[in-house]
């Protein structure tokens, strides 16, 4: 696994969804990069993240797509190299712990509400052996 690639993707998400909160206590979420992963809207170009959990979910999906979005990426980052999933879970845990969210206090809460039955996490990625989806990767 190219550590520079992993670090580079996390540096990118930090530019659009920084670790620091705004002075108001809100997430500093810049829509440009992550909008396509937001759940609200009628087309890929017209998506919106209305809640903090929507924003965290968009960031999560963006990260998964960058590392596991197709069979080539899966083979580079998943085959015995679970480190990226650990980094993702650390990022997700940090974002969830920055502030309170409506009924979501732990990774398990987020998983149950946003990953478990969400087609964006459960859709099969063609050409991948050993894992069926992002959810399957998390579960293993």
Tokens at 98, concatenated: 């920055």
In whole angstroms, what is the distance from residue 4 CA to residue 103 CA?
Answer: 36
Indicate if the pLDDT at residue 44 is higher than 70: no
Domain map (residue ranges) of the chain: 3-139
State which H helix or E strand residue 42 sits in.
none
Other Cβ atoms closer than 10 A to 38: 21
Q: Please state at what angle helix 52-68 crosses helix 3-16, rounded to 10 degrees.
A: 160
Kindly report, residue by residue over 98-121, the tens digit of the pLDDT: 988 888 878 899 999 999 988 988
Strands (E), the chain: 40-41, 47-48
Q: What's the pLDDT tens digit per position in 65-80?
A: 888 887 777 777 665 5
Using a 10 angstrom Cβ sphere, with 0-12 exposed, 13-18 middle and 19 or more buried, the burial of residue 108 is: exposed
**Which pLDDT value is given to residue 84?**
80
Name which residue leads in pLDDT, 70 or 56: 56
The predicted model scores a pTM of 0.86
The reported pLDDT for the residue numbered 47 is 82
> What mean pLDDT comes out for the span 124-139?
82
């Amino acid at each position: 696994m190219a550590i520079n690639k992993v670090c580079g993707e996390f540096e990118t998400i930090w530019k659009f969804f920084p670790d620091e909160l705004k002075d108001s206590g809100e997430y500093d979420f810049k829509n440009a990069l992550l909008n396509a992963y937001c759940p609200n809207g009628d087309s890929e170009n017209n998506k919106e993240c209305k809640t903090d959990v929507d924003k965290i979910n968009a960031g999560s999906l963006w990260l998964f797509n960058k590392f596991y979005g197709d069979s080539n990426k899966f083979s580079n980052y998943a085959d015995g190299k679970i480190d990226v999933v650990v980094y993702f879970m650390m990022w997700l845990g940090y974002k969830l712990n920055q502030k309170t969210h409506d009924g979501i206090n732990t990774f398990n809460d987020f998983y149950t509400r946003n990953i478990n039955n969400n087609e964006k996490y459960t859709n099969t990625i063609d050409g991948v052996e050993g894992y069926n989806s992002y959810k399957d990767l998390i579960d293993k």
